[in-house]
Amino acid sequence: MSIDKEVNFKDLAMIFAALLSDGSIQKNRIASFTNKDIELIKAFKNSYKSFFHLSEDKFKGNWNKSEFENKIMTIKIHSKEIVNFLLNFSKFKHNPTRNKGIKIYPVAHIPEMIFNGNKKLKYVFLKMYASCDGCIEVSIRYPRSAKKYDVIGNVVFACENPTLNLDLFNLLKSLAYTPIRDVKRVRLTRIKDIIKFENECGFIEGCKIFKSGHGAHFYNEEKNKILKLLVYLLKAGIPKNLSKVFRSHDNKNQIKKYLIFLLDEIKKGEKLPKIKFKQGKTTLNIEEKKWILSKKLFRKNIKSNKKYILPATKILKHFKKKFKKNIDVTTIYWYWTRFRK
């Protein structure tokens, strides 16, 4: 094994992220990485090859066989010396074992080198991890209080290992994000966080969505393009002729067609329509804006992560009584996500 004195820590961060997401260490001598996306297989291979100065014949597995294209591919490297080096940073055991049907997760941590590294190094790790075990959720909803369609979304880091889940949460917080975590994933839900993630991190170029969950997902589409679509929708909203309609399957399908149209424009490199809609936002004056952004008010009325759903009727009633003016939920959410500290 050969490592330069001036180590490329970015390659090492990529390797760490790959092994902690879709990779593993086996028998203390084999490092393997499994994924459907050939772009991620190549990214792992190139980082491994660059950092450890390996020749092409050292990489084993089915990753370079045409019959496995768009199927699960595995790339393996047999080297006890390299594995011993990697184990100095983490055990890289994150998958559960089962005992009488109960999942038992090993303790897994993001290496301290990443936490202690600079901003760029943290983003290299997050970019690879999100590309492997992350996704963008885009969902069409119809809030009863607003009585119109809108589009929401999240950037998701999937992780069921409790200690690794917490590490991802803390790593995002160290970069001034406001993540939300549950037992299966860590999410970026705030509009400013999603925009920041697109500008400063994003995904490995060319990697695609190969998993589907709830909401309007885009299977086999590039993650960066879906992220760009989501950011545009969060900034612009959707046209009034599509949003301010009654709830029906046909009307929802019209919005889906609009999203597909926007995605096609992104894929062709075309400029998207200028932002006009702002999701039904009503412009507020300085006094009204100050009232909406009151921290005390929101601490009192908003609980958990349901910041604009649970207390919406109370806030709307208070606002109407104070300012003799009607606003809707999307106005509250728009001001709250953009201006509240």
Report pLDDT digits (tens) over 29-77: 899 999 989 999 999 999 999 999 999 888 988 877 655 566 788 999 9
Q: Is residue 155 one of the residues assigned to a domain?
A: yes
Q: Per mean pLDDT, which range of 61-65, 185-189, 202-206 is the poorest?
A: 61-65
Range of the domain at 18: 9-92
206, pLDDT greater than 70? yes
In a domain, 124, yes or no: yes
Is 106 within the bounds of a domain? no
Least confident of 10-24, 54-68, 87-101, 163-177: 54-68
Q: Of 226, 243, 267, which residue constitutes the final position of a domain? A: 267
Higher pLDDT, 221 or 70: 221
78 assigned to some structural domain: yes
DSSP H or E run through 24: strand 23-26
Separation CA 223–CA 233 (nearest Å): 15
- 237 or 17, greater pLDDT: 17
Does one domain contain both 75 and 145?
no
In the predicted model, what is the mean pLDDT of the chain?
A: 83
pTM of the model: 0.77
Residue 282 is predicted with a pLDDT of 61
Q: Which of 92, 107, 124 is the last residue of a domain?
A: 92
Mean pLDDT for the stretch of residues 196-206: 96
Q: Are residues 152 and 285 in the same domain?
A: no
Give the pLDDT confidence of 316-328 residue by residue, as tens digits: 778 888 888 877 6
- 125 and 256 fall within a common domain: yes
Question: 141 and 65 in one domain?
Answer: no
**Residue of higher predicted confidence among 269 and 227:** 227
Asked if pLDDT for residue 311 goes beyond 80, the answer is no
Q: Is the pLDDT of residue 279 over 60?
A: no
- DSSP letter string, 159-210: ---HHHHHHHHHHHHHTT---EE-SSEEEE-SHHHHHHHHHHT---TT-B--
Question: 33 vs 25, 88, 133, 139, 246, CA distance in Å?
Answer: 9, 19, 12, 31, 48
* 210 and 249 belong to one structural domain: yes
Asked if 140 and 258 sit in the same domain, the reply is: yes
**For 245-267, how does the pLDDT look when each residue is reduced to its tens digit (9 = 90+)?**
788 888 888 888 888 888 888 98
Closest CA to 202 of 133, 138, 127, 122: 127
> How large a percentage of the chain has pLDDT more than 90?
43
Overall domain count for the chain: 3
CATH number of the domain at 232, please.
Answer: 3.10.28.10
Q: pLDDT-derived band of residue 83, with 50, 70 and 90 as boundaries? A: very high
Whether residue 245 is found in the same domain as residue 302: no
Asked whether residue 303 carries a pLDDT value surpassing 70, the answer given is: no
- Flag whether 102 is in a domain: no
Same domain for 172 and 68?
Answer: no
3-state secondary structure 131-156: HHHEEEEEEEECCCCCCCCEEEEEEE
Q: Is 70 helix (H, G, I), strand (E, B) or coil?
A: coil
pLDDT in tens, 105-144: 889 999 999 999 999 999 999 999 999 999 999 988 888 7
The verdict on 184 and 311 lying in the same domain is no
Residue 155 has pLDDT above 90, yes or no: yes
* Confidence tier at 195 by pLDDT (50, 70, 90): very high
Q: How far apart are CA 145 and CA 316, in angstroms?
A: 10
pLDDT of residue 164: 95
Gyration radius (Cα) of the chain, Å = 23
Pair 74, 18: CB distance under 8 Å:
no
In a domain, 274, yes or no: no
